[in-house]
Amino acid sequence: MKLFISILFLFSLIFFESTHIKAEEKSKDVSFLKASGQLPETVSSLKFSAVAYSAEGKLYLINQLQPTVLVLDKKMNFVGEFFTGLENPTSIAVDSGERIIVADATGNMVSIIGSTGQIVTKFKTWRPYSVATLSDGKIVITSPRKSGLIHLYDRKGTKLKSFGDAAILADTIQQSRFLNRGKVAADSADNIFYVSEFTVNPNIKKFSSDGKLLMQAPIEGDTVNVQRVFGKQLALNAKQDELTGAVLVNTISVDRVTGHLWIGMNGSSKYGSVYQYDSQGNKLSEIALTTRVSTGKAIVSASVKALSVQNNSLFASTEFGTNNYVPTNTLSNKDINIDQCGIPQIWDDCTVTCRSGTSTDTISCKSRLAGSLNISDKVIVAKSCSSGGSRADCSVTLCDKTTGDRTQHSASVECPPPILRDPSEEDEEGQQS
């Protein structure tokens, strides 16, 4: 059986390698967007792990440094902050009643918060990597399991159904489920978009609210090609049974006015780190987000960490901070600063401690990431680490000393479960606290 799975995995790698040529053909000209500069400094200087617009136009942002949610009104004024009741919140959505849904994947918990900041309820569910909401208040959660990729819950956190088949992407079930992680968003018609997170199988899936697969399309372009090379090396270096992957997609958002899907990725300052697709999976544009620097020119982001879009207005958090963008507010190449790397950074370790019975093992996310990159003639200009529970996520931004081009790469590692548990079992689902 293991030989059969290995053959399928090898075939999948060959297939995705064959799409590499198609990806280059389907790249589009990059538009460089200028930040609007409308945000208060107390917000623009912060970095956020997730962000979501509400139907009323408010913005809800998960603070990357502490487990709180910040709230901005339509004019981008800071109007409040409240605790999530979670240790490591990483995904957020807002329903039509202005309830805030926040997920903690490492803590296996989802928190439902009222519009005034009070916690309405919390419920346990296995690895809620990403959340979205439907028009009737139902909650959509992604978590690769035996029962499916996507799981639908009612307003109180009771599981209703699961759907979406996982691809065979590795030799073991644990590894394959890990590599099937993805992001989720929903449009105004309650269509559900699932976008794979890792480089091994970058694609978009569109489902109806009852779980029917409506569309599937590959994610292609120069940014994907850059990350795919890194991802293949990371896979080759991975130890047997290790849960690790190269992160391509950090965030997605569906503009409920236009129905367009926006994808924020790890990328390069040479190419766009945001792709825009129509509702049928056709790529419309490649976008690079910029930030103004002291020289008067703009510096291009190599990564988009969090993104939410409403009526073609983009709110995004990058390695330089947080800004608002409008697709018509573009810059020309002469306005872009590409010839300096900035101050080199010290790259600290990033680890997670795994426990199995009485034994412990420490996995270094940094060493997995560094061992898969060619850092000769490169300067480390930014890095990050998020470690909690059984998971660690790390990233590094490298700048080419000769050209000034920057690329950002990210890896995610998880402790393997001591036994293979089926998360659809009753003891892991729908437990409220």
Which positions ≥6 away from 112 have C-beta within 8 Å?
A: 99, 100, 101, 119, 120, 121, 122, 123, 139, 155, 156, 157
The pLDDT of residue 156 is 92
> Residue 91 pLDDT more than 90?
yes
Stronger pLDDT, 163 or 319, i.e. the higher one: 163
> Residue 66 pLDDT more than 60?
yes
- Where are the CATH 2.120.10.30 domain residues in the chain? 2-338
Stronger pLDDT, 49 or 419, i.e. the higher one: 49
- pTM for this predicted structure: 0.89
> Residue 58 pLDDT more than 70?
yes
The arithmetic mean of pLDDT across residues 212-238, rounded, is: 93
The length of the chain is 433
Amino acid at 325: Y
The arithmetic mean of pLDDT across residues 178-183, rounded, is: 94
The pLDDT of residue 303 is 93
The pLDDT of residue 24 is 40
The pLDDT of residue 15 is 43
* Minimum mean pLDDT range among 39-43, 56-60, 364-368: 39-43
The pLDDT of residue 342 is 78
> Residue 3 pLDDT more than 60?
no
- With cut-offs at 50, 70 and 90, classify the pLDDT of residue 201: confident
* Minimum mean pLDDT range among 250-254, 296-300, 302-306: 296-300
- With cut-offs at 50, 70 and 90, classify the pLDDT of residue 49: confident
> Residue 28 pLDDT more than 90?
no
Stronger pLDDT, 382 or 102, i.e. the higher one: 102
> Residue 284 pLDDT more than 70?
yes
Most confident of 29-43, 170-184, 293-307: 170-184
The pLDDT of residue 418 is 57
- Where are the CATH 2.30.30 domain residues in the chain? 351-414
Stronger pLDDT, 174 or 149, i.e. the higher one: 149
Most confident of 22-31, 155-164, 349-358, 421-430: 155-164
The CATH code that applies to domain 2-338 is 2.120.10.30
- With cut-offs at 50, 70 and 90, classify the pLDDT of residue 47: confident
Domain 351-414 class, CATH top level: mainly beta
CA gap 317, 203 in Å, rounded: 23
Stronger pLDDT, 199 or 141, i.e. the higher one: 141
Angle at which helices 222-237 and 2-25 cross, to 10°:
160
